């Protein structure tokens, strides 16, 4: 498996444990390309291992090494990946493994992987190595449906600075003076203003230049930017948004500037379609938001990619 990049390391992800209650234990260790047997972490059966990829990446292979200085066998109760919208099973509950093993599956978009289980020795898992690869080199294709997946939406990727709740996929690249926020920093995932609609959800959250959406923000233009790559053969993207106060423009790195939207974005979902995108190319989108004073917030939800070939008679697009 020479020359393949450990995507978990590339994305500077964290590897640690977390319970679902307030009494959580965090035991982060670095993901690197050169692990050895002394780099390990354990967790009780009631907790999850969490591997965070800071952004969506295409993964089709996992290389995992469990503790192997004895004959213990590990049973996995949950082993699944998250694409920003839903969890998808990797191993079925009750599957067992020991020592080092490889898992392969069809290419899928991954932002997190979580694992829960125990060993035959005790109620702990004991990981020594966890690596994620895209061996096939193929991009994961998002198929339009009545319940589409969401891609690079705001408020989903907390991981740049976990202590102050930043969105690792969105930066604020320009803003007027009067705040302590510096241009080029990652946007805050905000505690939403009670009057903002729609509410934050598992598919999109509000972002801004403070952690609290009720803070008063100086008047002026604020530019929020995100960068992503669209897999072939998709060339267009449906975008839903809501904003406080007004979305003035969206600039796309293919040279398009969008200033006409279906709705004004205040207090409701509005939308537009970005077209002429180049599959496989790095695409940047910059949202210019005007704030008239008081609270400032932006909610963006990228819908399914649009694909150029027409649907088949069954309603499923052929790729």
Residue 154 lies in a domain: no
- 254 in the same domain as 200: yes
pLDDT of residue 118: 92
Residues 6+ away with beta carbon under 8 Å from 227: 282, 283, 284, 285
Residue 153 lies in a domain: no
Q: Which of 88, 110, 133 is the last residue of a domain?
A: 133
- 114 in the same domain as 20: yes
pLDDT of residue 285: 92
Residue 100 lies in a domain: yes
pLDDT of residue 146: 32
- 293 in the same domain as 226: yes
pLDDT of residue 51: 82
Q: How many domains does the chain have?
A: 2
pLDDT tens for the chain, residues 1 to 319: 346 777 776 554 556 655 443 333 444 444 444 444 445 677 788 777 888 776 677 889 999 988 888 899 999 999 999 876 678 999 999 999 999 999 999 888 888 888 999 999 988 888 888 888 888 876 554 433 333 344 578 887 665 444 568 887 889 999 998 888 999 998 999 888 888 888 887 778 899 999 888 888 999 999 999 987 776 667 788 889 999 989 999 999 989 999 999 988 888 889 998 888 887 777 889 999 999 988 999 999 886 555 544 333 333 332 2
Q: Which of 90, 118, 133 is the last residue of a domain?
A: 133
Residue 200 lies in a domain: yes
User: Is the bond preceding 233 in cis, omega lying within 30 degrees of 0?
Assistant: yes
Structure tokens at 305: 């990619």
pLDDT of residue 164: 66
pLDDT of residue 158: 65
- 67 close to 123: Cβ distance less than 8 angstroms: no
Q: Which of 133, 155, 179 is the last residue of a domain?
A: 133
pLDDT of residue 148: 38
pLDDT of residue 101: 95
**Residue 125, domain CATH:** 2.60.120.260
Residue 32 lies in a domain: yes
Distance, CA of 21 to CA of 197 (rounded, Å): 28
Our CA angle for 289, 290, 294, nearest 5°, is: 115
**Residue 217, domain CATH:** 2.60.120
pLDDT of residue 237: 82
**What is the reported pTM?**
0.54
pLDDT of residue 84: 66
Helix (H) or strand (E) holding 100: strand 100-119
Residue 213 lies in a domain: yes
Q: What is the domain range of residue 68?
A: 7-133
- 79 in the same domain as 11: yes
- 206 in the same domain as 87: no
- 174 in the same domain as 303: yes
């Amino acid at each position: 498996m020479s020359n393949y990049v450990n995507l978990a390391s590339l994305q500077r992800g964290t590897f640690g444990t977390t319970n679902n209650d307030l009494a959580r234990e965090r035991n982060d260790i670095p993901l690197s390309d050169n692990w050895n047997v002394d780099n390990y972490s354990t967790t009780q059966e009631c907790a999850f291992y969490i591997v965070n990829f800071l952004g969506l990446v295409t993964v089709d292979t996992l290389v995992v090494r469990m503790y192997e200085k004895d004959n213990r066998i590990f049973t996995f109760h949950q082993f699944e990946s998250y694409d920003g919208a839903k969890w998808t099973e990797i191993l079925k509950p009750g599957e067992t493994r020991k020592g080092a093993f490889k898992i392969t599956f069809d290419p899928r978009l991954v932002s997190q992987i979580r694992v829960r289980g125990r060993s035959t020795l005790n109620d702990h898992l004991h990981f020594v190595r966890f690596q994620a690869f895209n061996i096939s080199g193929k991009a994961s294709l998002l198929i339009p449906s009545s319940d589409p997946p969401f891609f690079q939406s705001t408020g989903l990727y907390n991981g740049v600075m976990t202590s102050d709740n930043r969105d690792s996929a969105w930066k604020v690249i320009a803003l007027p003076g009067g705040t302590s926020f510096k241009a080029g920093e990652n946007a805050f995932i905000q505690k939403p203003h009670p009057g903002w609609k729609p509410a934050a959800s598992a598919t999109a959250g509000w972002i801004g230049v403070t952690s609290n959406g009720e803070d008063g923000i100086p008047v002026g233009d604020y530019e929020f930017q995100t960068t992503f790559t669209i897999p072939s053969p998709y060339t267009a993207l449906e975008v839903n948004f809501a904003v406080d106060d007004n979305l003035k423009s969206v600039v796309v790195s293919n040279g398009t500037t969008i200033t006409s939207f279906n709705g004004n974005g205040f207090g409701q979902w509005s939308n537009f379609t970005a077209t002429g995108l180049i599959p496989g190319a790095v695409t940047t989108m910059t949202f210019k938001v005007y704030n008239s004073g008081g609270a400032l917030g932006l909610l963006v939800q990228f819908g399914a990619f649009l694909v150029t070939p027409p649907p088949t008679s069954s309603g499923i697009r052929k790729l």
